[in-house]
Amino acid sequence: MIDGSSRFQESLPISSDALLGFLKDIGVKFELFNHEPLRTVVDSKKVEGIFLTSEQGGGHIKNLYLRDSKKKNILVVTEQDCVVDLKGLSKNLNCKRLSFGSSERLFQNLGVRPGAVSPLSMVNGVGNSVEMFVDSKLKHCKKLYAHPLVNDRTISLSISDLQKFMESIGSKINWIKF
């Protein structure tokens, strides 16, 4: 069965290896970590010891692919332990009835499978009118930890390098408060 791991990266619109090459080409500095597939925040916490802690400036994130009633596609990136109230978020983003997008829509719009969603999936999302909103608390992290389109790899990168990536693909980070 196909999953979100690098074993199946060639079935993605853009492979993880191609994304990592692109990041190098545009001058984004990152460190790559290989690990077991991580599908949830609970899974991620099992390998957290290889990264900077939150107290040391590590940005441990969760990523939510959402749609509103008008079929607007949204990627929300928050600190991993942030409780997200979809009704409150709907009002904050001026959307009607936010809900989680299906795995089919996730693949269609962000080019990844469940468990592999990250800000880096905007490499596909930008062409599908996905808007990304990031918790403003993450601005102060030394390193942000994100999957490079697969869930058995994580890269660390600075917020300025994430912004460089977003600019290079013609997108931007919308900062919001939770």
Rounded Cα–Cα distance for residues 86 and 111 (Å): 23
Q: Are 66 and 76 in contact (CB under 8 A)?
A: yes
Rounded Cα–Cα distance for residues 92 and 131 (Å): 14
Check whether 39 has a pLDDT greater than 90. Answer: no
Q: Pick the closest to residue 57 from 133, 147, 137 (CA basis).
A: 137
Residue 1, domain member (yes or no): no
Residue 46, domain member (yes or no): yes
Residue 10, domain member (yes or no): yes
**For residue 136, what is the domain's CATH number?**
3.90.960.10
Residue 156, domain member (yes or no): yes
Domain count, the chain: 1
Strands, E, within the chain: which ranges? 31-34, 58-67, 73-79, 99-100, 131-135, 143-146, 153-157, 174-176
Check whether 108 has a pLDDT greater than 90. Answer: yes
Give me the pLDDT at residue 75, please.
Answer: 98
Rounded Cα–Cα distance for residues 164 and 5 (Å): 26
Q: Pick the closest to residue 120 from 49, 17, 37 (CA basis).
A: 17
| Domain that residue 123 falls in | 6-176
Residue 30, domain member (yes or no): yes
In this prediction the pTM is 0.94
Residue 39, domain member (yes or no): yes
Check whether 178 has a pLDDT greater than 90. Answer: no
